[in-house]
Amino acid sequence: MPDAVQTMKKPSGEFLLEVCVDSVTSALAAQAGGAHRVELCDNLLEGGTTPSAGAIEIARKHLKIGLNVIIRPRGGDFCYSDLEFECMCRDVEIARGLGADGVVIGILKPSGTIDKKRTKTLLDLARPMTVTFHRAFDMTRDPLRALDTLIELGIDRVLTSGQQESVIAGLELITALIERAGDRIIVMPGGGLDEQNLARVVKTAQPREIHLTAFSRVESPMLYRNERVFMGGELRPPEYSRKETDSGRVRRLLRVAQQ
């Protein structure tokens, strides 16, 4: 199903750039840098989980570009319990009610195949929003069969690194998926894209849309710092600095891809 907002924002003859963000501040920076759409997440350390209703509402209030919202109740695998799936259904309804343009979902069976029944339920709840199947696709047993399943279901796009740790490593499969998909579904490369490799991916795979982050490190404004206390888990990310989307990096990445 076409998305009026997202289609309108895509320049004629060019690809569409989606920037993955984890805050409203980063979403606005992505917009300022020229992104055509953002994927709003929380908890990117675990690959992204569902953002708060407040974040969705305020992002929608300030954004003029497309807003997609990830629907993922936790990190880890993509095989969900009945309670987790119930939460996902409600989160889709909330995102739709708050004016999101699309949702980003992914559910697998233990066998490594697409959970068609649950995916169809979320798809029906989401309409008229667009629906992206995220990198759960990269955990499927047979990517070509999985792609055909998503086409059969009517999913709008699939985000993939080509079942590898990065788009560069998975570029051969991504190119094959784009050729197989044709106009039936958008195959959107994402994972490890930066200024050094983006041009190669665009030239080789010729994607219609691409997905990336554009973070830079931002220091905390805190003057008093208690270094003895840490609020996170074992990985211990920095307490007094964080990553935010850099509008300058977004602009540079766009220039690289358009060369």
| pLDDT band with cut points at 50, 70 and 90 for residue 256 | confident
Mean pLDDT of the chain: 91
pLDDT at 232: 65
Q: What is the pTM of this model?
A: 0.87
Per-residue pLDDT for 39 more than 80?
yes
SS (H, E, C) the chain: CCCHHHHHHCCCCCCEEEEEECCHHHHHHHHHHCCCEEEECECHHHCCECCCHHHHHHHHHHCCCEEEEECCCCCCCCCCCHHHHHHHHHHHHHHHHCCCCEEEECCECCCCCECHHHHHHHHHHHCCCEEEECHHHHHCCCHHHHHHHHHHHCCCEEEECCCCCCCCCCHHHHHHHHHHHCCCCEEEEECCCCCCCHHHHHHHHCCCEEEECCEEEEECCCCCCCCCCCCCCCCCCCCCEEEEECHHHHHHHHHHHHC
Residue 9 has pLDDT above 50, yes or no: no
Condensed to tens digits (0 to 9), the pLDDT of residues 43-58 reads 998 899 999 999 999 9
What is the arithmetic mean of pLDDT over 13-20? 85
Give the pLDDT mean for 24-35. 97
139 confidence band (pLDDT: 50, 70, 90): very high
Identify the band that residue 240 occupies on the pLDDT scale cut at 50, 70 and 90.
low
pLDDT at 231: 75
Whether 7 has a pLDDT exceeding 60, the answer reads no
Answer yes or no: is pLDDT of 37 > 90. yes
The percent of residues in the chain predicted with pLDDT above 90, rounded, is 78
Of the listed ranges 3-12, 72-81, 145-154, 157-166, the one predicted with least confidence: 3-12
pLDDT tens per residue across span 103-123: 999 999 999 999 999 999 999
Cα 217 to chain center, whole Å?
20
pLDDT of residue 23: 97
Q: Where do the domains of the chain lie?
A: 16-258
Q: Using CA atoms, how far apart are residues 74 and 49, in angstroms rounded to an integer?
A: 6
Cα separation, 94 vs 75, in Å, equals 20
Please give the average per-residue pLDDT across 221-230, as a whole number. Answer: 84
**CATH superfamily of the domain spanning 16-258:** Copper homeostasis (CutC) domain (3.20.20.380)
Average pLDDT value for residue range 211-223:
92
Cα angle 230, 234, 239; round to 5: 30
CB-based contact 139:111 (threshold 8 Å)? no
Mean pLDDT of the 94-107 span: 98
Distance of CA 67 to the CA centre of its chain: 10
